[in-house]
Amino acid sequence: MVDDPVSSATRAARSVEQRGLGALYWRFWATAGLSNLADGVLKIALPLVATGFTRSPILVGGLAFAFTLPWLLFALPAGAIVDRCDRRILMLVANTFRVVVLAVVVTALLFGYGSVLALYCAAFCVGSAETIYDNAAQSVVPQLVSPARLVRANGRMFGAQLAANELLGPPLAGALMAIGASAALGMPIVLWVAAVGLLLFVGGTFRTVGGAPQGTTLRADIADGFRYFLDNRLLRTFAVVGGMFNIASSATQAILILYAFGRRSVLGLDGAGYGLLVGTIALGSLFGSFLAEWACRLFGRARTLALSFSLGVVLIVMPAIVANVYVIGVAFFAGGMGIVIANVLILTLRQQITPPHVLSRVNSGTMVITWGAKPLGTAIGSVLAELFGLRSVFVVMGVVACIALIGVTRVTDRAMDEAEQAG
């Protein structure tokens, strides 16, 4: 006997199509917000704690690399695993694993056995669990809401992620560090435990709709999903465009502090001013997460994507054009808004045109290209700045972003509509 491929959560979502996103979605949204707040606190707290053991810039800065390395190593296997299992269960396991790892580190700190090596192990383990958690979360959303509500649902998820990770997490980490390292590292544990508890109230099964792979190896599943991703022109185009934009934005953000912070910098900002300038990107992104659905209805998807990526180009190139902090701040706000709107629409399209049984593997293939481009961009930006000066980074990366924009303008509403009908 074959199980009904439509999960109970999906049926519940369809029953509330005319009444909004539904209670199940909002519980899931809340648990994702708590998890992202834990991530936002930890990514600031770990380097701050590390300064108590070493003043080496390489060792302290390397923690960010330890966080992101699992995406290059494990993103593809994570996608295959998520397509085989109940996604909600995997999210519960991933957060529980993160709680255990960080609890061990906090215990070591309390008894005087903390070290930089322990922090690196924690960063790598937490980042590895994140490859499962984030992939599963992206794959669950289409099972919670109807297709008509998917843009709104993804927008609200991006809003929660940005508010928790970028706006609330860093200042909360700083305040907790004033109490002590154990308090700063203990807060993510509390938040992840709360997220696990809330996720238990998101009822239903979240296995792959249409059937998980049967009688195949994990390696074969990975190859099958990546092959589907490479064979789809739209998915391939958006991944390459996203990767190019991430190279450009990562390169410019890596040297922004040298351009903006300090008396000898171009903008001459102090610490508070620099924080406000960087914060305009996060504020614009949060604002954009609520505008995606409206912009799509007003302009259509193709025009919205072109306009959104154009704002992203402005964000990257503006410091090369003017040295006015207020003009740059407006450009950063608009660029952050545009990039998030584009991300919401692209994620929604990927969820709609990808067969459910390979969605997680396609998500992971996209993440390998787009997120794997970030460390490459950081390295390129540093080398360009060293050889040709800070302004050259904004100019060269502006050209890279413009080339990516050309790829976006070739995507039409008709092509996206046909891909949805075929999916």
Distance CA 78, CA 84 (A): 10
Least confident residue range of 9-18, 105-114, 144-153, 232-241: 9-18
Distance CA 34, CA 30 (A): 6
Segment 261-287 mean pLDDT: 83
- Candidates 283, 304, 30, 334; CA nearest to 156 is 30
Distance CA 216, CA 214 (A): 6
The tens digit of pLDDT for each residue in 19-52 reads 578 889 999 999 999 999 999 899 888 888 888 8
Report the alpha-carbon angle 341-347-349, nearest 5.
105
Least confident residue range of 9-18, 70-79, 292-301: 9-18
Domain at 224-422, CATH from 1.10.260.40, 1.20.1250.20, 1.10.3720.10, 3.40.50.1110: 1.20.1250.20
Q: What percent of the chain has pLDDT over 90?
A: 43
pLDDT tier for residue 3 given thresholds of 50, 70 and 90: very low
Q: What percent of the chain has pLDDT over 70?
A: 92
The tens digit of pLDDT for each residue in 336-357 reads 999 999 999 999 999 888 888 8
**For residue 269, what are the CA distances in angstroms to 67, 171, 252, 325?**
29, 19, 17, 9
The tens digit of pLDDT for each residue in 355-391 reads 888 888 888 888 888 887 887 888 888 888 888 888 9
The tens digit of pLDDT for each residue in 45-66 reads 888 888 888 877 677 767 877 8
Q: Is the pTM of this model over 0.85?
A: no
With a CB cutoff of 8 Å and minimum separation 6, the contacts of 119 are 46, 49, 50, 53, 63, 105
Distance CA 156, CA 410 (A): 28
Say if residue 152's pLDDT is above 70. Answer: yes
Q: Sketch the domain layout of the chain as residue ranges.
A: 8-212, 224-422
Kindly state which CATH superfamily the domain 8-212 is placed in: MFS general substrate transporter like domains (1.20.1250.20)
Q: Please give the pLDDT value at position 4.
A: 39
- Identical fold between 8-212 and 224-422: yes
Q: Encoding tokens for residue 29?
A: 């949204």
pLDDT tier for residue 5 given thresholds of 50, 70 and 90: very low
